[in-house]
Structure 1
Amino acid sequence: MPAAITPPAVPMAKSMALPHISSPDQKRKIICFSDFDGTIFMQDTGHILFDAHGCGSKRREILDEQIKTGERSFRDVSEEMWGSLKVPFDDGFEVMEQTLEIDRDFQSFHNWCLANDVPFNVISAGLKPILRKVLDTFLGEEASARIEIVANDAEIKDDGSEWKPIWRHDTELGHDKALSIAEARSEAELTCENGTVPLIVFIGDGVSDLPAAREADVLFARRGLRLEEYCIENQIKYYPFDSFADIQKRLEQIQKEDAEKTAGKGLPAIFNPRANLWRRVSSQQAVPRFAIMSPSKEEKMFLWPEAFSELKTPQFEVNEISASIVPPAQA
């Protein structure tokens, strides 16, 4: 399997700044990054819009296939899909509000994040104005404001005659989720004055989440969907989940075990060494930088290295995570 290619640390925007870690008695900081469509919500916001007010489901399925085969880039196809919309924003949102279904336990999980000082960030290939409006509606504006959204921006004309994505990155993906998490790691590096580093968590459902997921220490994949399928096929270590209640329970367990083994200091008990080579050096030393490769075809997203590891402490076994690779029927 090809060696991991670690992205460079990029200075992170102020709005994504991570909490300062200073108290030696403090539990290790957990920072969550989550996909949106198919993960927090069961449906895809873009698909709902395209099917109702744009190119339609048949054309959308053809375009989706062109992405999968590599005939066209995600960015190219997405521009056609968004460009097919001819509906004012508020009118388009009506069909999303009627169709979208939020994960039954997400609100409780988000409340747990707030109560435990766990930053929760959405990382999406969608359009930020849409995602913010959805969160405002389903969670309320106060709770929604506590969630940072890292996504593409958009220019939408008042009469709905033009929907134009403003891409976050100049790549074929439009938004390189791996690079966004690398930015978070760069900021986390600055918080390690006492040698303590946070645990990075990624939550997703589809194969397009792999570039971001490979940067995380802990990966959660929605059970029965594409991301889990590829984790099983490629022996990628992950935790399956049916709802965010499963994620909360597992993170509480991980946090407890980490505190027992590390007292919240130094490296986490579970960490991703290839995405965290800078963790191997003192926070006072120079941090290595590496070139980033943004996959342009679905096949490249499958090339996940065996990146997850653990400190050599006796209690927490790698097999616990590996067991989740086996589908329940075979366990």
Structure 2
Amino acid sequence: MPIALTPRPVPEIKHLGDVKTRSANKRKIICFSDFDGTIFMQDTGHVLFDNHGCGSKRREILDEQIKTGDRSFRDVSEEMWGSLNVPFEDGFEVMEKTLEIDPDFQSFHQYCIANNIPFNVISAGLKPILRRVLDTFLGEEASSHIDIVANDANISADGSEWKPIWRHDTELGHDKALSVQEARKEAELACDDGSIPLIVFIGDGVSDLPAAREADVLFARRGLRLEEYCTEHKIPYIPFDTFADIQREIEKIKEEDDKKTAGKGLPARFNPRANLWRRVSSKNAVPRYVVMSPTKEEKMFLWPEAFTELKTPSVETIEEAFPVGTVQG
């Protein structure tokens, strides 16, 4: 399903091709954000697994299997979700009591609506859960302005079966980078004046890098793993403590872009790598490109799936270039 490019009063996305820029002199800005640890301080899945599923100790073992590359993210996730045995409503009760929303997110979301800035959630989680959380904490009307790009799920009425319906047929289940690429392409096609939308991504962990690599502006929650990784590998980013910081920075970026470009052509902070990574992101291109640019940062941006790739002989060449499990996500 296409990703929405304009706020609208209903959650369905139907008329992407009719989207126009607000003004020829105003840059279209599109925000994408991680969910767990970014909008909410806790991980929705972890809350469920610890209280109604495999438990925290088993979950930690499974998380480690992902980090070491012994098992794929998708494989481990299916075990975690499959461990649940609780009706959806009962499971949501513990999430409602446990989850904490960023104190300034609601104000930021209203700012996005008022300024015609589409806000999309990109998550490796399950869409029905994320939608219910947003409906509860924001209210259904406000929540309807946020599109959720995530995996779907089949959840039995008695809660005995929780089965993810993966968005992509990969070992990650949801290729966040591909989702942002699709949105960027659709947004560019929708801008009939030839301008290029500014893509913003907001996250907290290294696992957000596949999507972050496609953004023009990256916000990383201060003090967490994404910021540490960006600092270590000299990846441009803007740190934030709450969404109020993001709102202030976006205002500055809007003013800067309007002054330098008048909202036309490429954004002042355009990320030329976004197109580069798309051109060389196929598996066949990896070995040749690694020789050209062997830095750890470029390896992570080039083919982030390799860092959670299941250890099999079929990926021997890639594992040699990208040591599996060297980056935690």
Instruction: Give the TM bin, normalised by the shorter chain.
Output: 0.7 to 0.9
Residue range with higher mean Cα deviation, 65-74 or 188-197: 188-197
User: Are 2:180 and 1:194 aligned?
Assistant: no
Secondary structure in 1 aligned to 2:187? helix
Q: Which sections of structure 1, spanning at least 5 residues, go unmatched? A: 1-10, 279-287, 306-331
Structure 1: which 4+ aligned runs deviate by more than 6 Å?
Answer: 299-302
How far did 1:304 drift? 3.1
1:207-246 → structure 2 map (5 Å cutoff): 207-246=206-245
Aligned-pair CA distance for 1:302: 6.2
Identity level (%): 75
Aligned to 1:20: 20
Name the counterpart of 1:133: 132
SS in 2 for 1:39: coil
8 A Cα contact 1:49 1:92, kept in partner? yes
1:108-134 per-position Cα deviation (integer Å, ceiling 9, x unaligned): 000000000000000000000000000
The C-alpha deviation readout for 1:264-315, integer Å capped at 9, x for no partner, is 000000011121469xxxxxxxxx966546x9xxx8996237xxxxxxxxxx
| Partner residue in 1 for 2:268 | 269
How many corresponding residue pairs? Answer: 281
Letter in 1 for 2:83: S
Paired letter, 1:39: T
Contact 1:208 1:301 in 2 (8 A): no
Go from structure 1 to structure 2 and tell me whether the alpha carbon gap of 1:122 and 1:23 turns closer, same or farther (over 3 Å shift).
Answer: same
CA RMSD of aligned residues (A): 2.2
Residues 76-91 of structure 1 mapped to structure 2, 5 A cutoff:
76-91=75-90
Q: What SS does the corresponding residue of 2:71 show, helix, strand or coil?
A: coil
Q: 1 or 2, which has the higher helix percentage?
A: 2
How do 1:133-212 residues align onto structure 2 when only pairs under 5 Å count? 133-212=132-211
Structure 2 counterpart SS, 1:50: helix
Structure 2's unaligned 5+ residue stretches are 5-12, 287-295, 303-329
Q: TM-score, normalised by structure 1?
A: 0.81
* Equivalent residue, structure 1, for 2:54: 55
Judged with a 3 Å threshold, the aligned counterparts in structure 2 of structure 1 residues 146 and 22 are, in CA distance, closer, same or farther, namely: closer
Q: In the alignment, is the contact (CA less than 8 A) between 1:153 and 1:166 conserved in 2?
A: yes
Is contact 2:3-2:149 (8 Å) kept?
no
Measure, in 2, the Cα distance between the counterparts of 1:267 and 1:258.
Answer: 9
Contact kept in structure 2, 1:48 and 1:95, CA below 8 Å: yes
Length-normalised TM-score, structure 2: 0.81
Local SS of the residue matching 2:122 = strand
- Give the 3-state SS of the residue equivalent to 1:104 in structure 2: coil
> What SS is found at the alignment partner of 1:257?
helix
